Amino acid sequence: MVSRVSILITGASGGIGRAAAIECANQGARVGVHYNANQEAAEATLAVLPGEGHRLYQCDIASPEAIERLIESADAELDGLDVLVNNAGISQRHNFKDIDYATWQDTWQRVVETNLTGPSNLCFCAGKKMIARGGGRIVNVSSRGAFRGEPLMPWYGASKAGMNAMGQSLAQALGPMGVFVYTVAPGFVETEMAAEVLASPEGDNIRNQSSIGRVAQPEEIAKTISFLALEAPEFMTGCIVDVNGASYLRS
């Protein structure tokens, strides 16, 4: 049982983030529940967390100024920030032949700002706090799409590949200062973000990509996040942990 570790989890109003908040709180951690727009869902997450001292934080992580305020608040109100979980992200699917240049540019900008630039700013601001406190951990939530490609979401695949490279680079840069960086790369997960495509005619094909014949449950990813955040050996820093039901195997 881990006690009094303070964790900020972005995108914790639902899906993987909500499951991770519950799992980490079950392990005794104090959790900062971040959301962007869905306050009601975030409050519902907060309400079911066991233990005391959890807090709710609103922030648009595409805003560098808002990120600074978020980290300052979380560090002060959670009695120091020990772990950052970069889970918040967005996706949008388009067929290349059906979109125009303006849509292409707009989608790249919005997805990369939220999925890569925002997390990088969070890593910087949280990393500075962790160094001042003598150490900490960062867990980035990536995707198998960073490796296998995303033909309907190239912006998403690129943002997650960038997150992988960022995490490995920061593991090298921050390790000497006691900050350890881990990445988890899920496949498809049964969340609101994936609900539409999983309910479509494509759904059975997606489920059958795994040797288990299904997609992951949020709790399975959450257990991996909790392990990396609270228990993983320091020497695992820089790792990318695949959790995709053998739907994509890297050599």
Residue 40's pLDDT band, with cuts at 50, 70 and 90, is: very high
Fill in the amino acid letter for 12: A
User: What does pTM read for this prediction?
Assistant: 0.96
Q: Does the residue 250 lie in any domain?
A: no
* CATH code assigned at 154: 3.40.50.720
Q: Does the residue 148 lie in any domain?
A: yes
Strand 6-9 versus strand 83-86 pairing type:
parallel
* Cα 174–Cα 29–Cα 139 angle in degrees, nearest 5: 35
DSSP secondary structure string for all residues of 3-66: -S-EEEETTTTSHHHHHHHHHHHHTT-EEEEEESS-HHHHHHHHHT--SS--EEEE--TT-HHH
Answer whether 83's CB lies under 8 Å from 138's CB: yes
Domain count, the chain: 1
Q: In this structure, what token pair is assigned to residue 145?
A: 């799409």
Q: Give catalytic residue positions.
A: 156
Answer whether 140's CB lies under 8 Å from 182's CB: yes
57 strand-pairing partners: 34
Which of these ranges, 13-22, 56-65, 194-203, has the smallest mean pLDDT? 194-203
Q: In this structure, what token pair is assigned to residue 92?
A: 């949008």
Q: Does the residue 248 lie in any domain?
A: no
Q: Does the residue 167 lie in any domain?
A: yes
Cα diameter, the chain: 53
Q: Mind listing the pLDDT tens digit for each residue in 92-130?
A: 999 999 999 999 999 999 999 999 999 999 999 999 999
Expressed as residue numbers, the domain containing 173 is 6-243
> What distance in Å separates the CA atoms of residue 139 and residue 232, rounded to the nearest whole number?
11
Q: Mind listing the pLDDT tens digit for each residue in 183-236?
A: 999 999 998 888 888 999 999 999 999 999 999 999 999 999 999 999 999 999
- Residue 136: the pLDDT is 98
> What distance in Å separates the CA atoms of residue 107 and residue 76, rounded to the nearest whole number?
35
Q: Does the residue 222 lie in any domain?
A: yes
> What distance in Å separates the CA atoms of residue 242 and residue 250, rounded to the nearest whole number?
9
- Residue 4: the pLDDT is 84
Q: Mind listing the pLDDT tens digit for each residue in 117-174?
A: 999 999 999 999 999 999 999 999 999 999 999 999 999 999 999 999 999 999 999 9
